[in-house]
Each structure stands twice: as C-alpha cells, then as structure tokens.
C-alpha cells in the first residue's frame, strides 16, 4: 500500500455538526493538523459563506498568512457571486473548492451559474442526494466538468444512506468516471454503529475499497458487501494490499472526505497499522 492514498483525504469541516466548533477553536485545530506529522492528509478548511467575516477576523487575530478554503454555500446559487468576491477580496484565502447544494434547483441551473463565475481553478462540487444520483444527472455534471458531493451522514438516522443505496450510487459514479467527495458521517475508518446515537456509519476505508470494486465492474451487490464489512482487520488488510496504481485510480474518483474531526480518522489509521508517525 502507498500512504499516498490518504493524501489530502480529510477536508476540515470542524465548524459543522456534530463538532460545531467555534471559529477560534476550528482555525486553531486546522493549523495544528496542517503542522502535524499527518499534515499531508489534511485538506482545506471548510467554511460557509455566512461565516467568512468571522474567518477573516480570526486569521487577523492569529496572524495566519494563508489558508486553503473550501467554500460552502448552504443558500445555493443566489449567494455564489458575492461569496466568491468576498473570498478573493481577502488575499490570505486560497479558494480550493466551492460546494453548492442542488436542492430544488435543477443541476443544469446550478452548473450554469458556476459557468459564469470566475473560480480561478478552484474545484466546484454539486451536492446531490445519494438516492438521486443517476446517469442523467451525472451527464449534466460531466458536461460542465464539475464534481459531485455526496452526503453520507448527518444528525439524524435518515441522513445516512444504507449500503444498497450508496452502492448503486458508487457504481453509477464509477461507470461515468465521475469524481466526487463525501461529507458527514465518515469520520471513522470502518463501518460501525455509533454508541451514542445508534446510527450506522459508513467507514471511509470501506468507501475507498467500494470504489475499487466499482471500478473493477463489480455489481451493486458486491459493492454493497464491501460497504457493509465491519471486520476492521479484514478491511485494513485489503487497503494495505492496494498498490500505487490502485490508489491513484481510487483517488481519481474519490477526492476527499469532509470530516468534523481529523483526529479520529487519523487515530483509526494508526490503530489499524496503516500509517505511523515514525
């Protein structure tokens, strides 16, 4: 296995539930992750457009010279232009991604709005409900050369797509060679039931392996079985067996995970023997 499979995998979404950190704590944590031995695994700082003013003030207070930003627009395209202008007005913010929900708008309308917004090479993600991903909507996204954002968890049980639903989605993404990120519910490595909520969480390692299975032409049932595997030893061994070509192919599709806790996924990887500080 190459440790490069985890490079930039964890987008820092610590401002969002369930962590919901203050801006002070979230920025401090992000800087700690970036400077840590696992810094190469740490992706951009995820922030909603409604909190850009707080973020800029915090960067000034902490004397931060630059910060990679993934900009989330919960309100949709109506705030896109103003939000992007606000980011570019602060030279310390380096826009790496823009993330927009499709919501009630058609994917083609969201893509059209992005088409006329200068993003200076930042990636653009359209958040599409997992159950709504199909060949038609992927065709629209691909025509505009954008990426997909999949919500794989949340603060209620119904926010977590089951294995069969996510498997069908991943097969469709692999067939279309459509890149995507996941957000929410993937802060642990292996599929498990959370002790505090009882919610069934997907594991980010399971998703990595499921993408590999989907790339290999696996039927939804096979991909579903990979997603459902809760044997941490078996999952870890399968990831360890991936070579550089496997890793590159998987990550060409599965770009990152938005997680409210970078510490937890890194700790899991250490426990499973997949990464080490030394």
Enumerate the domain spans of the chain.
3-271
High-pLDDT (> 90) share of the chain, %: 91
**Percentage of residues in the chain with pLDDT exceeding 70?**
98
CA distances from 80 to 41, 52, 63, 278 (A): 28, 13, 27, 43
The string of pLDDT tens digits covering residues 62-100 is 999 999 999 999 999 999 999 999 999 999 999 999 999
Q: Is the pLDDT of residue 104 over 70?
A: no
pLDDT tens-digit series, residues 112-129? 999 999 999 999 999 999
- Please give the class, per CATH, of domain 3-271: alpha beta
Enumerate the β-bridge partners of residue 183: 151, 258
Please, which pLDDT band fits residue 103 given cuts at 50, 70 and 90? confident
Cross-strand bridge partners of residue 254: 180
Helices (H), 116-262: 135-143, 163-176, 204-215, 220-228, 232-240, 244-253
Distance of CA 68 to the CA centre of its chain: 15
């Amino acid at each position: 296995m190459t440790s490069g499979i985890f490079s930039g995998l964890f987008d820092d979404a610590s401002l969002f539930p369930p962590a919901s950190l203050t801006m002070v704590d979230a920025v401090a944590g992000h800087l700690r992750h970036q400077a840590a031995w696992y810094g190469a695994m740490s992706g951009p700082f995820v922030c909603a457009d409604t909190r850009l003013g707080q973020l800029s003030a915090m960067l000034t207070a902490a004397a931060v010279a630059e910060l990679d930003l993934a900009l989330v627009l919960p309100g949709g395209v109506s705030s896109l232009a103003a939000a992007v202008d606000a980011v570019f007005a602060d030279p310390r913010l380096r826009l790496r991604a823009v993330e927009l929900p499709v919501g009630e708008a058609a994917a083609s309308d969201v893509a059209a709005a992005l088409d006329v917004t200068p993003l200076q090479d930042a990636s653009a993600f359209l958040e599409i409900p997992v159950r709504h991903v199909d060949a038609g909507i992927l065709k629209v996204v691909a025509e505009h050369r954008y990426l997909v954002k999949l919500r794989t968890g949340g603060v209620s049980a119904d926010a977590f797509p089951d294995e069969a639903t996510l498997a069908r989605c991943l097969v469709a993404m692999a067939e279309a060679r459509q890149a995507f990120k996941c957000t929410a519910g993937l802060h642990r490595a292996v599929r498990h039931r959370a002790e505090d909520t009882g919610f069934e969480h997907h594991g980010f390692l399971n998703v990595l392996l499921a993408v590999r299975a989907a790339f290999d032409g696996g039927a939804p049932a096979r991909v579903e079985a990979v997603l459902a595997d809760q044997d941490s030893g078996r999952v870890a061994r399968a990831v360890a067996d991936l070579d550089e070509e496997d890793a590159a192919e998987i990550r060409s599709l599965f770009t990152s995970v938005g997680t409210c806790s970078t510490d937890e996924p890194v700790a899991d990887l250490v426990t499973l023997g997949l990464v080490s500080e030394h």
